[in-house]
Amino acid sequence: EVQLVQSGAEVKKPGESLRISCKGSGYRFTSYWINWVCQMPGKGLEWMGRIDPSDSYTNYSPSFQGHVTISADKSIGTAHLQWSSLKASDTAMYYCASSSIPAAGDDAFDIWGQGTMVTVSS
Partner 1 sequence: QSALTQPASVSGSPGQSITISCTGTSSDVGSYNLVSWYQQHPGKAPKVMIYEVSKRPSGVSNRFSGSKSGNTASLTISGLQAEDEADYYCCSYAGSRTFYVVFGGGTKLTVL
CB of 60 to partner 1, least distance (A): 9
Q: What is the 3-state secondary structure (H, E, C) of 48-70?
A: EEEEECCCCEEEECCCCECCEEE
Binding to partner 1 in span 44-83, by CB under 8 A:
44-47, 50, 59, 61-62
Cα-based distances in Å from 107 to 50, 82, 95, 97, 115? 11, 22, 15, 10, 18
Which part of the chain contacts partner 1 (CB under 8 A), choosing from 17-25, 66-74, 76-84, 95-103?
95-103
Q: Is 7 in the site for partner 1 (CB under 8 A)?
A: no
CB of 49 to partner 1, least distance (A): 9
